[in-house]
Amino acid sequence: MSAKPLSELKEPKSQEEQKLVELFSFGFDHWLVRNTPDEVFDRIRAIDKNPIGRAQLNQLLHLCHEPGVSDGFFRYYWSAAPSCHPYQVDQLPAYNPDALNGDLIQSQQQLKWGLYRLYVDALLFFGDVRIAFNKLRVLSFSNLEDSFRSKRFDTDAMKRRGPAIPLVNIAKDNRYLISEMACKSHGALAGRQSDLKTFLLEAFSAHTAAGGGRVTIRKLFDQAFSTKTDKERQEEFLFSVDDILDEEVESELQVNERYESVARTFETARQGALKNTEYFLSMVNDLDIYVATSMRDRSDFRKMADFCEKVFRAPALKHLTLRYFDPTVSAAEGHEDKGLIECLMVKSAKVLVYSAGKKDSFGKDAEAAMALSLGKPVIFYCDEAQRERFFNEIHPLSRLIDFETGVAVGAMVTSSHDEVITLLSRIFENRMEYELSQKPNGLRLIEKLTGSTVRLQTRNSLLRETFWNYYHKKV
């Protein structure tokens, strides 16, 4: 028997319907595509007048050389809109609440809605439609409910837990002093003497020997480094005394006074940041969000502090009492400890928010890659130009593999504070919205708000078979 194009079943009334129709041409690879008996198409064509039950659906599947489905699978995907699902199934295309009143598929739209749900679930949690179908089709309704309920965030528990122990407040303008560069300059790491203080006194001594007079701290740096090649140390020192660079001095006593004023502020900020790290460690079992960023100057710390305040104190998120790791108020005794702490935070957090800076950073890129490889939701926040470049040039590299499951995982990219807030609200309240997209090279799952690809399945059959045959092979 010859196969007929699926598009002949029903003339699409819109571009959206055309997308739904195209879904039948991918996923199971053969069902409703090639070498399909005419009676399968005839039966689907007549579904609006003659609904299909599970027994007949299984017959159609068997005629296409596919295994049948359990009663629970049939009811879960075509006769129910479970509230325990990890996202809102009633937001998917073709949803019709009036059709969920029996044990029959009453229309082509209802058939499409159930398949659409299956494809979304497959890409989200299995990485492959056929694998998902074979694992889910035999389960009971309660088994399916339990399985998908376990993939939800426990929103009610988040609301009930109340606020965490308040962090030590560190003024936004002083947070740059907790950076590793400032710690090196002031001698806070490994119990060293202050290289910065020594440098300032030597610079002023040289200035005095050359004639002396009133001079700004910035001018001392310029003079001292004019004959030096260690520009990295110059950047470090300038960063660490940003607050006094334009102040004038005319004696060694004044140099000491200016330095000590910064050192006292540094010590206060650092001790507060160390205490905050203890608080972060104390909440690690309940951590919701890790913020990954790199801050190179004082303005970066201010901007990052403003970002955290605007996002995490938003009224739309207040009821969730979110615990988030704020890098602008945390410090460690050394960079080794800092690395261990941040790896633990990334591993423990439910979501990672990546805030792009002016320059790339291996550290934050590694943290984002780690989160993606753990299958966690990752939100990239950047300006519009960075976002456009990300989609056009970088985005394919942001899709990594969940090491445990083998599912391809992608980041959500936005240039809007408000979209970050909305995404976090949807994630933790299990209200994410998705749409499927057919591409020449495969099937993609798109996060609707940002248009980002968060999951994909390749159309390359050799790659698919090789990947899934060997990915979980024990070595």
Residue 351 belongs to a domain with what CATH number?
Answer: 3.40.50.450
Instruction: For residues 145 and 10, state if they share a domain.
Output: yes
Instruction: For residues 322 and 398, state if they share a domain.
Output: yes
Tokens read off for 69: 């489905």
Residues paired with residue 442 on neighbouring β-strands, in sequence order? 439, 458
Instruction: For residues 318 and 418, state if they share a domain.
Output: yes
Q: Which residue has 């001392």 as its token pair?
A: 220
Pairing of strands 289-292, 351-355: parallel
Residue 259 in any domain: the answer is yes
Residues paired with residue 453 on neighbouring β-strands, in sequence order? 446
Looking at residue 4, its pLDDT comes to 46
* Tens digit of each residue's pLDDT (9 = 90 or more) over 377-410: 999 998 877 776 666 555 544 568 899 999 999 9
> Tell me, what DSSP letter sits at residue 243?
G
Residues paired with residue 355 on neighbouring β-strands, in sequence order? 381
Instruction: For residues 147 and 252, state if they share a domain.
Output: no
* Tens digit of each residue's pLDDT (9 = 90 or more) over 192-248: 678 888 889 988 999 999 898 999 999 998 888 877 666 667 888 888 888 899 999
Instruction: For residues 420 and 303, state if they share a domain.
Output: yes
Q: What is the pTM of this model?
A: 0.88
Residue 473 in any domain: the answer is no
**Could you count the other beta carbons within 10 Å of the beta carbon of residue 142?**
10
Residues paired with residue 455 on neighbouring β-strands, in sequence order? 445
Instruction: For residues 288 and 403, state if they share a domain.
Output: yes
Residue 460 in any domain: the answer is no
- Of 91, 77, 98, 78, which Cα lies nearest the Cα of 148? 77
pLDDT along the chain (475 residues), means of 10: 44 52 54 65 87 94 89 96 95 91 90 92 94 96 97 96 94 90 74 79 91 91 76 79 90 92 92 96 97 88 94 96 94 88 96 82 83 94 76 57 92 94 98 90 91 90 91 82
> Tell me, what DSSP letter sits at residue 169?
P
Instruction: For residues 126 and 184, state if they share a domain.
Output: no
State the residue range of the domain holding 189: 175-268
Instruction: For residues 52 and 123, state if they share a domain.
Output: yes
Residue 220 in any domain: the answer is yes
Instruction: For residues 160 and 301, state if they share a domain.
Output: yes
Residue 441 in any domain: the answer is no
Phi, psi for 445 (deg, rounded to 5)? -105, 120
> How many structural domains does the chain have?
3
CB 404 within 8 A of CB 471: no
Instruction: For residues 62 and 123, state if they share a domain.
Output: yes
Q: Is the dihedral of CA 148, 149, 151, 152 positive or negative?
A: positive
Residue 34 in any domain: the answer is yes
Angle at 109 between CA 107 and CA 111, to 5 degrees: 75
Residue 204 in any domain: the answer is yes
CB 462 within 8 A of CB 354: no
Instruction: For residues 253 and 309, state if they share a domain.
Output: no
Residue 13 in any domain: the answer is yes
Instruction: For residues 337 and 420, state if they share a domain.
Output: yes
CB 111 within 8 A of CB 95: no
Burial of residue 342, with CB atoms counted within 10 A of its CB: 0-12 exposed, 13-18 middle, 19 or more buried: buried
